[in-house]
Amino acid sequence: MTTLTQQLDYLLSDTQGAPAPPTVPWRLRLHAIRHTIRALRLLKTQGWGPAHRYYQNLHPGLGWRKNAVLEPRTAFLLVRREILFSQLVLHALEPNAICLPRALSLGVYLSALGLPAEVIVARERALTDPQYGFHAWTELYGEVVNDRPEVQLGHTILQRVSTQPRNE
């Protein structure tokens, strides 16, 4: 019998030969979930300003160093495995969330694990619907992780938000 993590590793395995990502300890995962909940509550009650400052000052949890030094391809495999936990938190708190809460949720979650995630806030270059002229997504090593990769082409980036680099 295999564990869920082994099954997910098989389904999400990299055909390019990247090594399997390390297992995230439950304590670190719970740290990430707790901070994701706090950030989403701040966004809902106080708006983007306090939420993005919270994100910028976030400290990763114990055990983050091994994730911070992963090769990008291995880090992407870890993101594929962990995105489910971030999305479960998001859907529990904001079932009809639009792009900003989705991007913030994933950015905070990944940063709390020690990955260098960035939340991007952008404006459409060719406005197709005035109600949705702005968009947000999450990037890791400059690659979009929670939206279509070509989303970068149709938008002008207004803000890149990430945690402060940690040397601790």
What tokens does 45 get? Answer: 């009650």
- Predicted confidence (pLDDT) per residue in 25-83, tens digit: 999 999 999 999 999 999 999 999 999 999 999 999 999 999 999 999 999 999 999 99
Supply the CATH classification number for the domain 23-162: 3.10.620
- List C-alpha distances in Å: 143 to 101, 119, 120: 19, 11, 11
In this model, does residue 11 exceed pLDDT 70? no
Q: Quote the pLDDT of residue 10.
A: 56
Q: What mean pLDDT comes out for the span 126-136?
A: 79
Q: Is the pLDDT of residue 4 over 70?
A: no
**What pLDDT was estimated at residue 6?**
59
What is the helix (H) or strand (E) element at residue 120, kind and residue range? strand 117-124
**Block residue for tokens 């809902």:** 44
Banded pLDDT at 166 (limits 50, 70, 90) = low
> Which 3 state secondary structure label does DSSP give 70?
coil
Residue 134 scores a pLDDT above 70: yes
Q: What distances in angstroms separate CA 91 from CA 40, 148, 168, one per listed residue?
A: 11, 20, 33
- The Cβ-side half-sphere exposure at 126, using a 13 Å CA radius, reads 3
Quote the CA–CA distance of 124 and 150 in Å, as a whole number: 12
- The set of residues, in sequence order, having a beta carbon less than 8 Å from that of 157 and lying 6+ positions away, is 120, 121, 122
Instruction: Kindly state the tokens that stand for 21.
Output: 């990502």
pLDDT at 131 over 90: no
Q: Exposure pattern of 14-51 as b/e (b: 16+ CB <10 Å)?
A: eeeebebbeebeeebbebbbebbbebbebbeeeebeeb
What is the model's pTM? 0.88
What mean pLDDT comes out for the span 12-37?
A: 85
- β-pair partners for 120: 137, 160
- Res 152: pLDDT: 87
Which residue is it, tokens 């995630």? Answer: 117
- Residue 13: pLDDT over 60: no
128-139: average pLDDT: 83
* pLDDT recorded at residue 1: 44
Mean pLDDT of the chain: 88
